Structures are given as C-alpha cells and as structure tokens.
Amino acid sequence: MKRIVIFASGSGSNAENIICSLAGNKFLSFPMIISNRRDVFVHERAERIGVPSFFFSKQQFEDGDVLKFLLGHGIDFIVLAGFLLRVPVNLLQTFHDRIINIHPALLPKFGGQGMYGDRVHEAVVAAGERESGITIHYVNENYDEGRIIFQARCIVNPDDTPGAVAARVHELEYRYFPKVIEQLAILS
Ligand code: GRF
C-alpha cells in the first residue's frame, strides 16, 4: 500500500478529485492533505471527503518539521496540486523522484515563479497561443523545471477568455492527474 500526501495551497479541487477518483485503488491510500495556508477551501473539501488536513507554515516546511511529520506517518509519495511554495531541499532529498506537480500549461512555456492560476491562462491568451494544456512533472529545486512526465493538450480559440481556457485545462487535470499518479506511485 503506497501512502500518498497531497500538498495544496488553495481551493483543492484537484486534491479532492484525485482522492475520490482513486478511492477504489487498494494499492494507494491518501491519509492526509497538507496546506501552507489555514484559510483556504482545501480544508473544507478534506473534511467533506473525510481526509485529515493539516496546516504547516513556510518556516515549518523549511525547518524540516513537515519532513518529520511525513516520515512519522510512513508517507511514500508527495503530490503537489496547486501548491505555491518552493519545495525545500530537505523534502527533495528525502523524496527524490517521489514528488510530482501539475502545471496548467505546456511547460517549459508559461511556467516559473509567479506563474500560477489565472495568470497562466492570461499569459497564454495574451501570447495568442492556439493550444494550451497540462504538464505533470517531477519536482526539483526550481519552480516548474523538473523532468516532464506527461502532457495533454487542448485548443485555444482566438476569442477565448482566460476563463474559457482555464475550464478546458481543468478538465484535462481532472481526467489525467489521477491516472498518472496511479501509474507512478505504484511503481515508485
Ligand atoms: C490547478 O490549475 C493546477 O494545475 C495548478 O494549481 C491549480 C490548483 O487548483 N497547479 P485546485 O486548488 O486544485 O482547484
């Protein structure tokens, strides 16, 4: 049984979708969700689906408190789903090639520090791109630069608003992220 923790900093729709989509998989368990913010909706989603969620401050990530907590709970794999902090070296070293992230664009374009949420879709529309999509990648010490695992594409119409692009990208996230996690976590 692989024990997977999800890190989320905001709404948590991907976290909820992953846990609910993989609830029937007897090889995976999702014992907790961790957030670096107290006042975000992911905690309500966690309560609704019966998964404990915890707050840890940025300092506690950097001081190794989160690492100790994860090891104490036998966590095998970390999934970032809308997590906005840079992952500290203590976690990268301990969970080498066992931390993955999803980015709502086709990296290496439209990634990097500050590129998250609607800002990404606004940049894609402003650039006149004809397609966008998702990128699932291993996490390293830099934002959105780890080895790419999977990408899926969607069209961008000339008259699309960033919101229309966001909706199409979210659909790809919900469809593919659980599948990629299922394949990777079991093999890791
Ligand atoms: C998603 O668009 C994901 O690609 C990005 O952050 C967003 C998180 O949304 N990393 P949610 O919190 O899962 O609703």
Check pLDDT > 90 for residue 188: no
The DSSP symbol for 20 reads H
Residue 185's pLDDT is what?
84
Distance CA 38, CA 183 (A): 31
Distance CA 30, CA 89 (A): 23
CA dihedral sign of residues 176, 177, 181, 184: positive
Which segments of the chain are extended strands (E)? 2-7, 28-35, 53-55, 77-80, 99-103, 131-138, 148-155
Residue 35's pLDDT is what?
98
- Ordered by start, the domain boundaries in the chain are 2-187
Regarding pTM above 0.75, the answer is yes
Residue 124's pLDDT is what?
98
Check pLDDT > 90 for residue 187: no
Per the CB < 8 A criterion, the answer to whether 29 and 51 are in contact is no
Residue 63's pLDDT is what?
98
Q: Which numbered atom of ligand 1 lies nearest the CA of 14?
A: 13
Nearest CA owner, ligand 1 atom 6: 82
List all residues whose CB is within 6 A of at least one atom of ligand 1: 8, 10-15, 81-82, 102-104, 116, 173
Nearest CA owner, ligand 1 atom 2: 104
In angstroms, how far is the first alpha carbon of the chain from the final one? 11
Structure token pair of residue 41:
């909706």
Q: What is the pLDDT of residues 7-55, one digit of tens each?
A: 999 999 999 999 999 999 999 999 999 999 999 999 999 999 999 999 9
Residue 141's pLDDT is what?
92
Q: What is the pLDDT of residues 49-62, one digit of tens each?
A: 999 999 999 999 99
CA-CA-CA-CA torsion for 77, 83, 84, 85, nearest 10 degrees?
-30
Mean pLDDT of the chain: 97
Residue 26's pLDDT is what?
95
Residue 157's pLDDT is what?
98
Q: What is the pLDDT of residues 70-82, one digit of tens each?
A: 999 999 999 999 9
How far does the centroid of ligand 1 lie from the alpha carbon of residue 24, in Å? 23
User: pLDDT tier at 186 (50, 70, 90 boundaries)?
Assistant: confident
Check pLDDT > 90 for residue 97: yes
Q: What is the mean pLDDT of residues 154-167?
A: 98
Q: What is the pLDDT of residues 102-141, one digit of tens each?
A: 999 999 999 999 999 999 999 999 999 999 999 999 999 9
Q: Which numbered atom of ligand 1 lies nearest the CA of 9?
A: 12
Architecture of domain 2-187: 3-Layer(aba) Sandwich (3.40)
- For a substitution probing ligand 1, which of 53, 84, 116, 136 has the most ligand atoms within 8 Å of its CB? 116
103 given a catalytic annotation: yes
How far does the centroid of ligand 1 lie from the alpha carbon of residue 132, in Å? 15
Q: Which numbered atom of ligand 1 lies nearest the CA of 83?
A: 10
- What's the Cα-to-Cα distance from 140 to each of 92, 97, 159, rounded to whole Å? 7, 9, 36
Per the residue annotation, which of 43, 73, 96, 103 is the catalytic one?
103
Strands 77-80 and 28-35: unpaired
